[in-house]
Structure 1
Amino acid sequence: MTEQQLSAYRQSYPTHAGIAELSRGSIFRGKNLHEFIKNKTWFELNLFGITGRQFSSNEIKVLNYIWSSTSYADIRIWPNRVAAIAAAARTTPILAMVGGISTCDAELFVARPLVTCLKMLKAIGDKVDNGADYQDLIDEKLNKKQTIYGYGRPITSIDERVPHFVNFLNEQQHPVGANFKLAFKIEAYLKQKKNIRMNIAALYSAVCLDLGFNEVEMNLFVTTLVYAGMPPCYLDTLQKPPGAFLPTKCSDIGYTGPSKRAWNKQS
Structure 2
Amino acid sequence: MIAAPLPTRAGKAFVGTRAVFLGHDLHADLRHADWVELYLLSITGRRFAANQLKLLHAMWVCTSYPDARLWNNRVAALAGSARSTPALGIAAALGMSEATVYGGHPCVRAIDFLIATQRRVAGGAVLAELVEQELAERRIYGYGRPIHSTDERLPWLLGIAREHGLDGGPHVALAHAVEVLLVARDARLKMNYAALTAGLAADLGLSVTEFHHFQVPMLLAGMTPCFIVAAERPAGRLFPLSCDDIAYAGAPKRRWVQNR
TM-score exceeds 0.5: yes
SS in 2 for 1:90: coil
Aligned-residue CA RMSD (Å): 1.8
Give the CA deviation at 1:256.
Answer: 3.7
Cα separation, 2, equivalents of 1:258 and 1:133: 59
Give the CA deviation at 1:184.
Answer: 0.5
Equivalent residue for 1:94?
87
Measured against aligned partners, the alpha-carbon deviations of 1:17-54 in whole angstroms (never above 9, x if no partner) come to 00111111111001101112232112211111011100
Q: Give the percent of matched residue pairs that are identical in Structure 1 and Structure 2.
A: 37
Cα separation, 1, equivalents of 2:251 and 2:213: 44
Equivalent residue for 2:206?
213
Cα separation, 2, equivalents of 1:190 and 1:156: 16
Give the CA deviation at 1:174.
Answer: 2.2
Give the CA deviation at 1:135.
Answer: 0.6
Is the aligned partner of 1:180 residue 2:172?
yes
Cα separation, 2, equivalents of 1:166 and 1:34: 35
Give the CA deviation at 1:258.
Answer: 6.6
Name whichever of 160-169 and 115-124 sits farther off. 160-169
Written as runs of structure 1 = structure 2, the 5 A alignment for 1:1-267 is 12-144=5-137, 146-174=138-166, 176-195=168-187, 196-257=189-250
Give the CA deviation at 1:143.
Answer: 3.1
| Structure with greater helix percent | 1
Contact 2:55–2:161, Cα closer than 8 Å, also in 1? yes
SS in 2 for 1:225: coil
Equivalent residue for 1:8?
none
Give the CA deviation at 1:12.
Answer: 4.7
Figure out how many residues of one structure are paired with residues of the other and give that number. Answer: 251
Contact 2:143–2:190, Cα closer than 8 Å, also in 1? yes
Cα separation, 2, equivalents of 1:244 and 1:175: 45
SS in 2 for 1:26: strand
Contact 2:114–2:175, Cα closer than 8 Å, also in 1? yes
Measured against aligned partners, the alpha-carbon deviations of 1:94-128 in whole angstroms (never above 9, x if no partner) come to 11111111101210222110011000011111111
Instruction: Point out 4+ residue stretches in structure 1 off by more than 6 angstroms.
Output: 258-261
The code of the aligned residue for 1:177 comes to G
Contact 2:107–2:195, Cα closer than 8 Å, also in 1? yes
TM norm structure 1? 0.89
Give the CA deviation at 1:260.
Answer: 8.0
Contact 2:12–2:19, Cα closer than 8 Å, also in 1? yes
Q: Name stretches of at least 5 consecutive residues in structure 2 with no aligned partner.
A: 255-260
The code of the aligned residue for 1:160 comes to E
